[in-house]
Each structure stands twice: as structure tokens, then as C-alpha cells.
Chains A and B, each alone.
Chain A
Amino acid sequence: MKQRKFTPLMFLLPGCVILGAFIFYPMIQAIWLSFTDYNMIQQNPNFVGVANYKELFADELFWKVLGQTLLYLIIVVPALVFLPIFLAILVNQQLKGITFFRSIYYLPVVTSMVVVGIAWKWMYADQGVLNFILQSLGIVDDPVHWLTSTSTSLFAIMAVTVWKGLGYYMVIYLAGLQAIPSNLYEAADIDGASKWKQIIHITIPLLMPSIMIVTIMSSISAMKVFEEIYVMTQGGPLNSSMTLVYYIYNQAFDSLEMGYASAAGVILFIVTLMFSIVNIAFMNKREQAMKG
């Protein structure tokens, strides 16, 4: 086991330089910027203490945006945790052509969010397909202004996030389902347990590790939602569909308030950190399990 001292360093160097330059260094700079008044126009940032944070906490829009982000999380995460379980059960059957259906359900995942956003913007149009279906079924009388009304815009975008994510989480659950030994179901069949009971008492408990992963992944990505909003509503109308990342983007690249936006970014970091800590703990557990 002879090995020169700097051999590990040589292997680590390129990757670590990139991570250092594009994650660690910017991380420190972002925290520093959040205590300055930097706005791209002036040459040098001035230290202003916690003024940005004070201003942030006094900003009604920031609270509105934070509330909307949490609402996003509360609705989108349960939908993305539970709906894909049923999709996975559906495509886990031994049927002819089942791989075709799996691919179809995965299609929105591989399509870019921009195209998905455009397709749904067209679905949501006042005289679009969605309103037509709802009116035909007698669920609504007049067309709903899905993306242009303050009461529906955020929910309409949530639906798109869920729709695009279904296939991805379905596949994660599919991997979990295929790890469940089939003799458990055979035994339940002999005992005369209904399919629904089997799902509640066998599938869901044994799928718990996958459910954890999906919960964490979908929470973190829901906190960072941006593209669907940029493509479909630009945060409007009247900021009713604006979430935290969109707010940061607006402050930084429209108003050029880099210091202020960094402070909002630090808040985002703190919130996602809580989810990430759980994630890492979970990964370590998996790693140990893999080592056996």
C-alpha cells in the first residue's frame, strides 16, 4: 500500500477547484453581500450591517412571498408524495405494453419546463381545453381566468408542478415497489385481504424509505420553484403567484439590489437547510445499508 503523499490531491484537485470556485467562494460572498448595499452600479459594496434583513422583515411583499412559498410546499408536497404511489402501483402490473405507459408518464419529466409551461398556459386559456371540460361537466358556469386571476394563479401553477413531477417520483416508487417480496401479497391474497387493504398494510409501510426520499426531494424543489412561474405568470397578477426564488431573482436581476437579494437568499438557504439535513442523514443511512 505504497502511495505518494500528493497522489490523492491530484485526483481531487480539478473537482475541488470547481466546487470551491463556484460553491464555497460564492457562498461566503453571498453571506457577505447580504450585509452590504451592493447594487451592481456602484464600484464597491458598503457594509450596512443587518439593514437588509431589517428591511426584508419590514417588507410586506417578502412576507406575502414567503407565505405563498410555504403554501406551495404544503399543497405540492403531499400531492407529489401520494399521487405517484398510485401511478407506480398502476404501472407495476404485469401487462402487455406496460413499459409504453411508463414512458408516456415519464414524458413530462424529460420535457423542458418552458414547453410544459407554454402547453399549460394554452390549456388554461379562457377559451381553452380545461375550461371547456369543466363547463361541459357543469363544474363551472363561466370560464375561470386561471392564470390571470389573483385567487387562482398560484394554484394553477402548483398543478403544473405536480403534473410535471408525477412521472419522476413514480419511477422512484416503482423501484421501491419492485423490492417488496411478492410472497407477502400472495399470503395476503390467501387470507382474503382486499387490494385496498394490501396497499394500506403492505405497500405503504414497506415503501416508507421511498416515501421519505420523495418527501425530502419534493420539499426542497418546491422551495426553489421558479421556472413555471417565470414562464406562465411572471409572478403576477399583483404578485399573487410570486414565490421566494422569483422574488430573489426580481430583486437581484431586475432591481439590481444584489445585497438585498442576497439577504433573501440567505433566508432561502436557512429554510432549505432544514430539509437538507434530514436528507443527508438519510443518505448516510442508505450508504451504511449498502455497505452491508
Chain B
Amino acid sequence: MNQNSEALKQDDRTPVTVQENERKRTQPTNIKQRRRKPRPSGKKVLKTTLSYATLSIVSLIMVGPFLWLLATSLKSGSENIFAYPPQFIPENPTLANFGAVLEYFPFFTYLFNSTVVAILTVGANLLFCSLAAYPLARMQFRGKSLVFILIISTMMIPFQLLMIPIYILALNLGLQNTYLGLVLPHATTAFGIFLMRQAFLTIPYELDESARMDGANAFQIWWKILMPLVRPSLVTLAIFTFMMAWGDFLWPLIILNDQSMYTLPLGVQSLQGNFSSNWRYIAAGSIISVLPIIIVFAILQRYFIEGAMKGAVKG
């Protein structure tokens, strides 16, 4: 109560309250407003506290399962991980499980594979999608709208239908257990072409024309004039493709049977089989495997969230 009235006094000096007072002065007949008058800032403090409380509870729900996994991974062999009630804080925190799991779990191989696949997929998409989007946005040619409709229509076809023929095709092309086999089916996406076309459409045509008068060819206009101007869309596409490639599970599951080619999600899944019920090791391996993406996310979170906002058209 004491704290509340102190906060009230402090808040009285803030400009918000001044504005509110002014509003009340201009509308003297509003009874409701006047009744609220005695402690508007006290209410504000309460509201803020309530907001933070809700935010924190939701946070706990969103990170709780990860924290519980982390706690389990830090428990020593002598501690019962099935204790009831659950022990949220490990008795003798130890990194021994991490050391042990790294002996059987070739984390760095998986990390390397995931990184190679993600970089190749992102690079291929940035290049091929923006190449294909350029004539669709800025050139006149016969069958243009047909080509565009055909490209967009691929968004409607679920990969889960295609995975069977693609698997047969990949086997015939000798792509099983290769990086190329992992990357090629996702090397161009209709979403990427759509996104880049949108970006190119927003750039004024005068830029192309003046460059053409200076003797630039179509490729030079694309690369030197347009590509630097659509950088924000390229970032969005890169983040989107990266997330898709990094988290992909179904296609690697089908096309890989050689453990040394496993990407991180497959590697982590194999932990469940290898340490059937050793939850300390499974937890430790899972925690190690999410560290890279959490670090990337921490650094680039602004782009991740902006990208998701702009990428909302993806089907």
C-alpha cells in the first residue's frame, strides 16, 4: 500500500497524467472521468505489474520444457531423475553428461552437415528465385502470366505427395546420402520467386531505362541496379529458407541412411534410439543441438521476427 502511494506521487509528475488532467478539464461534465480521478497512476502501476506478471507466466510456459530438459541434462548419475516430486534444481550440477554424450554423438559432424545444407539451400534460393523473378516483374514476353501461374501453383502441391517420386528420382540420380540430394528438391521455391517479384515491382522503371541507355545489358541491370535495392527482401528470403532447411526433417529422414550424413534434427532423433531411456544423455544431446540456432537467433532476432511478419503469405 505504502509503495503504491509512493509510485502514485512519482507518476503524478509524468506527462501522461498532465495530459489526462487536461482532458478532464476540457470535459468537466464527464462523471466517469472524474470518478477515476483520485488515483489514475496507482491504477497504471497495477496494470503494469499485472502485464509483467502475465508476460512472465507465459514465458515460463514457453521456456519451461527447455529449462526442465536443461535441468535433467545437468543432473549427476547419482541423482534420481525420476524423483517425485520433480527436482527442478540439480543437486550436484555436472557437465559430465555433455562430455559423455559427445563421445557417442558426433555433434560437430551433424552441425557441419546442417550448416552446409542450410548455406547451399539459402544460396540456391537467393540466386535462382531472384533470377526467375526478374523477367516476371520487369519484362514483356509471351506466356509470362502462364509461367507465373504455373510457378505459383507449385505452392499448392504438398511435398508429402511428391516425396515418393522424388525419392525414386533421387535414387536413380545417385543422390542418396549426398548434400546435393538434400538441397536440390528445395533449391527453388515458388514463395521465393513470388517474394522477389514483389520486391522488383516496387522499383521504378526509370532506373532500368537509364542503365540501358548507358549500355548495360539485362544481366548487369539485374545484378548491379536491382539486387542491391531489394536487399531487405533478400534477407527475408534468406531467413525463411534457412529456417526451412535447418529444421527440415522429413526429406533428410527419407534420403539419408548413412549416419555420417545426418543433419542435426536426424542426429538428435537418433539419440532417442541409441540411449533408449538414458534421459540424461538424451537431454544433454538435445541441449547441445539447439545451441547453434539459439545463438544465431539471439544475434539476428530482429531479422527473424521481421521476416516472419513479411513472410506471412507463405502457404
Contacts and interface: CB of A to CB of B under 8 A. Distances in A.
Contacts of B167: 252-253
B313 A172 contact: no
Contact of A122 (B72, B198, B254): B72
A273 interface: yes
B272 A14 contact: no
A172 B308 contact: yes
A8 B290 CA distance: 42
B190 to A, nearest CB: 7
Given A5-B141, A104-B62, A114-B286, 9 more contacts: A87-B58, A99-B301, A107-B294, A114-B268, A116-B65, A122-B283, A136-B85, A223-B158, A227-B249
In the A-B complex, the 4 residue pairs with the smallest Cβ-Cβ separation, listed nearest first, are A15-B132, A8-B135, A265-B161, A276-B156
A81 interface: no
A279 B85 CA distance: 48
A258 B164 contact: yes
A235 B66 CA distance: 24
Contact of A3 (B190, B218, B298): B218
A112 B304 contact: no
Contacts of A5: 141
B164 A33 contact: yes
Interface residues of B, number: 100
Interface in B10-54: 23, 32, 48, 51-52, 54
Contacts of A168: 308
Contacts of A217: 312, 314-315
Given A112-B246, A220-B315, A26 B162 contact: yes
Interface residues of A, number: 100
A226 B253 CA distance: 12
Contacts of B82: 125, 127
Given A14-B188, A105-B62, A112 B154 contact: no
9 contacts: A11-B134, A123-B64, A167-B62, A248-B161, A268-B158, A269-B158, A276-B155, A276-B156, A283-B152
A33 B163 CA distance: 12
A280 B154 CA distance: 11
Contacts of A286: 313
Given A26-B169, A253-B254, A268 B160 contact: yes
A248 B65 contact: no
Interface in A1-28: 1, 3, 5, 7-8, 11-12, 14-16, 18-19, 21-27
B272 A19 contact: no
A223 B315 CA distance: 12
Interface stretch (A48-56, A88-96, A150-158, A196-204): A88-96
B184 to A, nearest CB: 6
B66 A24 contact: no
A165 B308 CA distance: 12
A245 B289 contact: no
B160 A245 contact: yes
Given A29-B165, A112-B246, A114-B249, A95 B129 contact: no
A280 B152 contact: yes
Contact of A283 (B150, B265, B286, B313): B313
Contact of A112 (B128, B165, B201, B290): B290
Interface string B58-82: 1101111110110010000000001
A277 B304 contact: no
B297 A107 contact: yes
A224 B253 CA distance: 16
Contacts of B166: 22, 26
Contacts of A210: 312
B185 A102 contact: no
A100 B14 CA distance: 25
Contacts of B228: none
B156 A224 contact: no
A110 B315 contact: no
Contacts of B144: 8
A262 B144 CA distance: 32
Interface in B218-270: 218, 222, 243, 246-247, 249-250, 253-254, 264-266, 268-269
B1 interface: no
B168 interface: yes
A167 B305 CA distance: 10
- Counting chain B CB atoms within 10 Å of each CB, which of A7, A226, A230 scores highest? A7
